[in-house]
Amino acid sequence: MTAKPAFGHILNVADARRAAARRLPRGLFEYIDRGSEDEVAIAANRRQLDAIRLAPKVLVDVSRPSTAVEILGQRLSLPLVVAPTAVAGLVWHDGEIALAKAAAQAGIPFCVSTQSITAIERIAAESGARLWFQLYVWQNRQRMLGLLDRARAAGAETLVLTVDTAVGPNREYNTRNGFGIPLKASWRAGIDVALHPRWAIGVMLRALATGGVPTYAHYPEEFRTKLGRVTLSDEVALAADVTWEDVKLLRRHWRGKLVLKGILRVDDALAAASHGCDAIVVSNHGARNLDCAIGPTEVLPAIADEVGDRIEILADGGVRRGADIARFLALGARGVLVGRAPLFGLAIGGADGASHILDMLSVELRRTMAFLGAPDIASAARARLA
């Protein structure tokens, strides 16, 4: 990979993170970057990934490495999926479309969030990306099913049900920064925006000029509100009574692949398989929800051993290097979701910035595979001896 001139100084994800911190208002950046409560889990995710050592196999021909992989019946160029994120449309103007374009260029899917600011129909029409759709269950299940029909009609092939967010997380820094969803006017937030004029002009003012105050584009028209207001109805509030009965409902209704995101126990992985799910994502929500939750790397090997022959296993949690992808593969994942890393790229350069991040991860993964003596993804998955 040859870095584009605009990103020549961005040599890794850490560089992009620092650049994003300078460009975005502090409240928005920390909303993306940080965890919850005392942020024990976010530090643990990183520490546990760093502790994983892989065993190189020598004297293997790695002159033509391949990172191609099949995930849920789709042939992908990389074992990656761009994860769903609720605020991409605030990070860059039409940020969801930009992320989807970057994913399409990389040959991987983009997962659209229920709480996307841009409608899936626009994302599909303007990006050319292979789309997945992430679902938060609404209290009114019939309206939720209507949303799924809409997503399917727009071209979403895979449904990702987030199962680890029964209540809103405790993120105290959002309160201190004056940032949250719904957006609320405050002197802290006002000063924060004023100190970041490129973002204010390039994102917020453009949004106001082209469509007004952003909204959650997938909410029913009669209940759609500006991000500065609370929802008009409990019908589209996130449900706290989601159970395996909802999984049965989704399995009956959704004709495509069904994935449960947020699994951290073997028994839940077994239940997902028994309910006809096609895949799970072993994840603690990027350490953004339960601060005392175990990390995905702690449980991934046991889950893979138990259900890896019955259901596809994906994972996420703090990927910053291509070596992190290899680590997850060696623990038993078929693929990895990346959320924060492409958002950092998005913040500094839109679709080109996000593409730069995905290109860097691809190059780093190939280099890691070469050092491991792994000419393909299947070989990389065997790089952990214990």
Of 166 and 377, which is predicted with more confidence? Answer: 377
**pLDDT at residue 369 tops 60:** yes
Q: Where are the alpha helices (DSSP H) in the chain?
A: 13-23, 26-33, 40-50, 88-91, 95-106, 120-127, 141-154, 172-177, 187-194, 197-199, 206-211, 244-253, 266-274, 296-307, 322-331, 340-372, 377-380
User: Residue 312 in 3-state DSSP?
Assistant: strand
Work out whether strand 312-316 and strand 110-112 pair parallel, antiparallel, or are unpaired. unpaired
**What value does the mean pLDDT take over residues 169-197?**
77
DSSP secondary structure code for residue 321 in this structure? S
pLDDT (0 to 100) of residue 226: 55
Q: What are phi and psi of 228, to 5 degrees?
A: -90, 5
Banded model confidence at residue 86, pLDDT cuts 50, 70, 90: confident
Give, rounded to a whole angstrom, the gap between the first and last alpha carbons of the chain: 33
Q: Which of 89, 85, 65, 69 is nearest to 77 (CA)?
A: 69
**Contact call for residues 315 and 283 (beta carbons, < 8 A):** yes
Q: Is the peptide bond before 182 cis (omega within 30 degrees of 0)?
A: yes
Q: What are phi and psi of 70, to 5 degrees?
A: -105, 125
pTM: 0.93
284-308 per-position pLDDT tens digit: 999 999 999 999 999 999 999 999 9
- Give me Rg for the CA atoms of the chain: 20
**pLDDT at residue 2 tops 60:** no
Banded model confidence at residue 276, pLDDT cuts 50, 70, 90: very high
Look at the block and give the residue holding tokens 């399917």: 152
Percent of the chain at pLDDT above 90? Answer: 77
pLDDT (0 to 100) of residue 194: 83
Work out whether strand 158-162 and strand 131-135 pair parallel, antiparallel, or are unpaired. parallel
Mean pLDDT of the chain: 92
**pLDDT at residue 228 tops 50:** no
253 given a catalytic annotation: no
The residue from 93, 196, 218, 285 that is catalytic is 285
The amino acid at 39: E
**pLDDT at residue 231 tops 70:** no
pLDDT (0 to 100) of residue 249: 98
State how far the Cα of 135 lies from the Cα of 160, in Å rounded to an integer: 6
**pLDDT at residue 147 tops 50:** yes
**Contact call for residues 81 and 111 (beta carbons, < 8 A):** yes
Banded model confidence at residue 185, pLDDT cuts 50, 70, 90: low
Work out whether strand 69-71 and strand 74-76 pair parallel, antiparallel, or are unpaired. antiparallel
Burial class (CB in 10 A: 0-12, 13-18, 19+), 167: exposed
C-alpha count within 13 angstroms, C-beta hemisphere, residue 24 = 31
Banded model confidence at residue 177, pLDDT cuts 50, 70, 90: confident
Instruction: For domain 25-380, give the CATH superfamily.
Output: Aldolase class I (3.20.20.70)
Banded model confidence at residue 229, pLDDT cuts 50, 70, 90: very low
Percent of the chain at pLDDT above 70? Answer: 92
Q: Which of 26, 294, 39, 43 is nearest to 172 (CA)?
A: 39
105-126 per-position pLDDT tens digit: 999 999 999 999 999 999 999 9
Burial class (CB in 10 A: 0-12, 13-18, 19+), 66: middle
